[in-house]
Structure 1
Amino acid sequence: MAEMYKNIETPVMNLLDDCLIHIFQQLDSRMDRDSFGLTCHRWLHIQNTSRRSVKLCCSVTTYGSSRLTQGSFNVSAFHVYKLLTRFPYLTSLSLSGCTELPDSGLSQLEFFGSSLRSLCLACCFQITDTGFSLVASGCSNLKSVDFYRCNITDIGLTAIAKSCLSLQTVNLSYCTKISDCGVRFLSQKCRQLRSLVMSHCRSITGSGFNGCSETLVHVEADSCKLEPDGISGLVSGGGLEYLNLSGLFWSIHGDGLARIGQGSAVHLRVLNLRMCRDATNEAIMMISKGCPALQEWSLAFCHEITITGWVAIGWNCNNLEVLHVNRCRNFCDRGLQALQDGCKNLSKLHMNHCVRVTQLAVESFKCRRSSVVISQEEAVHIFPSFNFTDGNG
């Protein structure tokens, strides 16, 4: 009797691969998908070829620091080879935190990288321009790359910019070997670029952004050595909606920040100037007039702004909803009065350690603007509460 049932094929085994793939894609839970592959070798193959995303367990746990999860082993070129041959149609791959992975570990991307749309190599410290050139030659359809703390130079970035023309999101944070030359190629070649993070890239002055695409809506350039002409370049595309220039107090002097308000940033909605301690009243006046769409603005630690600047904000920033004035030494009762009389859409004011603001002025503000929340919170990073404009729209 057992032999009889052993030779009987179940109808499901006669299904075409396309049908099995469709069934697999309808499975919601990870447990069900893993069980699917345990059925037989054919079903395991279906599972493997249907896999679209892999993130290794040694991934970075905290961006902005060098702390990594301690894996049980160092990921080698062989491990990546096995991974890519088992899952040949990945669209998203994260090798972040593979600190000992050599350039040869990326060689298989030349054969299995054409389907990749997202690649994360954050903290892959051993990858050089040779490895990034392998990425360029094998992954021409990439839309998103994360090279946080990588040793990429202008040579590697140029290779990627020339090959991956559809790039939309690029993270170059702490890539200290990148200069304006590499950024220029990225800006000129990747005309669909929407988001660029280049925090702490202190060899970048911003000159490489002149004539950037109008698709560029999000830029993080905190702690960079941007020059006035570089700031003009950053906003030159005309589509920028989010700009983080915090921590530029030691490199931008005079009215360099005023370039933001000279007519190209009319769509700017979030601006972080935290710790731009030399931001002048003239710059604040230009920005308040030239950026009518501003919804959130951080001026924390901007000590040079006096009553002239605060009046300009109150008078001109009619769409402003959130303002950060934490620890501004020259923010005083009259400045608070200017915000009280203007900024009709203000809903939240981040204010603490403003030593020239009296409790009486605060109580008056609360009475007149009861809908505005006064928060003691100090926000280092500002995250947009809106969706960026569709690049196709």
Structure 2
Amino acid sequence: MGSLSSSLDDSIGLGTLQLTSKTVQEERSKDDEAHPCKKTLSITDLPDECLGLVYHSLKYGTDYSSFGLVCRHWLHIQNYNHESLLVNIDLHTYRLCQTPKISSESFSIILCRLLIRFQHIRFLSLSRLPDVTDYIASQSQFFGSEVQFLSLKGFYEYSDKKLSLIFSPFPRLTSVCLSSSHITDKGLEILAKSYASLQKVDLRDCRKITDRGLEVLAKNCASLKEVDLGECQRISDRGLKVLAKCCASLEKIDLRYCCRITDHGLEGLAKYCASLKKVVLAGCQGITDKSLEALAKCCASLQKVDLGHCQRISGQGLEVLTKRCVSLEKVDLNGCKWITDSEISSLLKNCSKLHSLGISFCSNVTGIGFHGCPKTLTTVEALNTYNLTTEGIKEIASVGGIQYLSLMGDAVNDEAVITISKGCPLLKSLWLECVDEVHLEGWKAIDLLPEDHKRQQKN
């Protein structure tokens, strides 16, 4: 791989600057001297920072490949500016698709060559790829050291040793995704002791992680800001309390379906992590109004809360939360059967910054609680809200700023659809299900024929 000649760093991270090659410049100079009235200019006369901007403005994977095939110099530009190596994603990526024909040895060689070629990769995703061998360790000294985000999602068959073999070459890691992997407390300990500056860790559905592993992570990585422990069935209040005490700067935590988390753990979390902005508690059946009261008391900066399918909390607890946490922007109440129009009205009254509300499967909501809701509301999800009425849909549409709307049920009729078409001028996405009561008049109101809608649903 050729080296870049200049070392002038630019302010936007595109790397060093270099003009066109010396040989090309000399040839053009001679031509310009022979024809003083004719100056030869081309895109290759642009400095590297401009070519880098051109490269970053490309939209499709094939365009990135074509860019590097123009000439050797442009290949260097590509190598220097390519920042992402992901799996099965076209944008800004090179694709490594899993295939049963590729051996672990071959895959390890291919991966090493790519990491050696692209020295400035910051985002590396190797989700569900073939096994790796020790060959990667022998080549790691030649890798670039700028990788900050590493995803090893879905590595079911990887042992702790294999996982550590992959993330060990990247000293600047700040974010790691290990969701749905078989990492154990031992592997988490290796990770925590190697990367004290970690800020984000995704351990969702890591069934082998226990309180012990979480405690080691918390004690070694005090700078953690985001932690996803969703579906980690072996995590309890004990581990959560240690995490809260050691990581006071925590801003986002996902505890969805953590069946062993109760009010005791949430009270400790709220007490020590006052700067929390996002809390996901969906499916936590050990949570009651006490948890909401603790969050309301200590976490006034809360912006997003997911209480989906939490059956042991009530409207009283929700009201306490919304009165204190007035900065709430997104609230998910999907599946909370205790929610009524009264709670919706109180929520919308207290939270003037709210822009997203989920009330799917809330069977006691008719929609009239949306009367007078804030103009900031842009997203409403109300699927399987069986008591939703046409009048309720009119109240939702009357907001005026709705951009994303999902509805389902008999109340979705011609009158409701026509009201939506007139009352939601900013609408970008309308998802309708079970629309037997919508006829040609309704479809015309939103410029969509019934056949077109059915085709969209099928896709």
TM-score by length of 2: 0.63
Counterparts of 1:126 and 1:59 in 2: how far apart (Å)? Answer: 23
Partner of 1:241: 277
Deviation readout 1:196-230 (Å, 9 max, x if unpaired): 33332222233342225454333333222332233
CA shift in 2, pair 1:127/1:312, >3 Å: same
SS at match of 2:70: helix
Residue 113 and residue 224 in structure 1: after superposition, are their counterparts in 2 closer, same or farther (change >3 A)?
A: farther
User: Which of 27, 35, 50 matches 2:70?
Assistant: 35
Which amino acid is 1:73 matched to? I
- 1:299 has 2:333 as partner: yes
Displacement after TM superposition at 1:294 (Å): 0.7
CA positional deviation for 1:87: 4.2
Say if 2:68 is the partner of 1:55. no
Which of 65, 73, 80 is the matching residue for 2:111? Answer: 80
SS across alignment from 1:170:
strand
Give 1:302 shift.
0.2
Indicate the SS of the match to 1:10. Answer: helix
Of residues 218, 227, 243, the one that matches 2:262 is: 227
Q: Are 2:134 and 1:121 equivalent residues in the alignment?
A: no
Alignment of structure 1 residues 334-345 onto 2, 5 Å? 336-340=367-371, 345=376
Deviations 1:258-307 (A, max 9, x none): 25533232112122222223322332123212321112211111012356
Q: Partner of 2:173: helix, strand, or coil? A: coil
Question: Which one is further off, 180-189 or 154-163?
Answer: 180-189
Residue 210 of structure 1 aligns to a residue whose secondary structure is helix
What is the correspondence of 1:318-337 to structure 2 with a 5 Å cutoff?
Answer: 318-332=352-366, 336-337=367-368
Alignment partner of 2:179: what SS? Answer: coil
Percent identity for Structure 1 against Structure 2:
23
Q: 1:228 to 1:103 in 2, by over 3 A?
A: farther
Deviation at 1:345, TM superposition (A): 4.9
What is the DSSP-based 3-state SS (H/G/I as helix, E as strand, rest coil) of the residue aligned with 1:98?
Answer: coil
2:204 to 165, 170, 173: 173
The corresponding residue for 1:6 is none
Comparing both chains, which one has the higher relative contact order based on Cα–Cα distances under 8 Å and sequence gaps of 6 or more?
1
User: Counterparts of 1:10 and 1:233 in 2: how far apart (Å)?
Assistant: 67
Q: Which runs of 5+ in 1 are unaligned?
A: 1-8, 61-67, 379-393
Inter-partner Cα distance in structure 1 for 2:80 and 2:364:
60
Q: Which residue of 1 aligns with 2:38?
A: none
Q: Deviations over 1:223-243 (max 9, x none)?
A: 223322333344432222223
Q: What is the distance in 2 between the residues matched to 1:112 and 1:310?
A: 54
| CA shift digits 1:233-259 (9 cap, x unpaired) | 4443222222322232xx324335425
Equivalence for 2:434: none
Q: Provide the rounded CA distance (Å) in 2 between the counterparts of 1:217 and 1:54.
A: 26
User: Counterpart of 1:50 in structure 2: which amino acid?
Assistant: Y
Give the superposition deviation at 1:354.
3.4
Q: 2:353 is aligned with what amino acid?
A: N
1:10 equivalent in alignment to 2:41: no
Compared with structure 1, are the counterparts of its residues 274 and 69 closer, same or farther at alpha carbon in structure 2 (3 Å cutoff)? farther
Shift in CA distance, 136/343, structure 1 to aligned 2, threshold 3 Å: same
Indicate conservation of the 8 Å contact 2:207/2:233, yes or no.
Answer: yes
Q: Which has the larger radius of gyration?
A: 2
1-structure distance, mates of 2:138, 2:186: 18
Shift of 1:22: 6.4
Residue 360 of structure 1, CA deviation:
4.7
Q: Which residue of structure 2 lines up, in the alignment, with residue 189 of structure 1?
A: 220
The secondary structure found in structure 2 opposite 1:323 is strand
Letter in 1 for 2:110: H
- Asked if 1:313 corresponds to 2:347, the answer is yes
* CA offset digits 1:132-174 (Å, max 9, x no partner): 4345653221122222322211222222222222223322222
Alignment-derived partner of residue 303 in structure 2: 269
Q: Aligned with 1:376: secondary structure?
A: strand
1:20: how far off?
9.5
5 Å matches for 1:194-209? 194-205=225-236, 206-209=240-243
**How many Å apart are 1:105 and its aligned residue?**
4.1
Counterpart mapping for 1:327-366 below 5 A: 327-332=361-366, 336-340=367-371, 345-360=376-391, 363=394, 365=395
For 2:333 and 2:380, the matched residues in 1 are separated by: 11
1:382 is matched with none
Rounded to whole Å, the distance in 2 between the matches of 1:59 and 1:306 is: 42
Letter in 2 for 1:96: S
- Answer whether contact 2:373 2:399 (CA < 8 A) is retained: no
Closer, same or farther in 2 for the Cα pair 1:74/1:255, shift >3 Å? Answer: farther
Kindly provide the amino acid, as one letter, of the partner of residue 297 in structure 1. V
Distance 1:101 1:54, change over 3 A: farther
CA distance in 2, matches of 1:137, 1:207: 29
Q: Distance in 1 between matches of 2:161 and 2:178?
A: 14
Q: How many residues align?
A: 348
- Let me know the Cα RMSD of the aligned residues: 3.9
**Does the 8 A contact of 1:117 with 1:144 survive in 2?**
yes
Structure-2 change in CA distance of 1:239 and 1:304 (3 Å):
same
Partner of 1:384: none
C-alpha contact 1:169 1:194 (8 A) present in aligned 2: yes
Kindly indicate whether the alpha-carbon contact (under 8 Å) linking 1:295 and 1:319 is maintained by their aligned counterparts in 2. Answer: yes
Task: Indicate the SS of the match to 1:138.
Answer: coil
- State the distance in 2 between where 1:104 and 1:126 align: 18
2:71 partner letter: F
Distance in 1 separating the partners of 2:297 and 2:379:
27
**Alpha-carbon separation, structure 2, partners of 1:229 and 1:94:** 36
Q: TM-score, normalised by structure 1?
A: 0.72
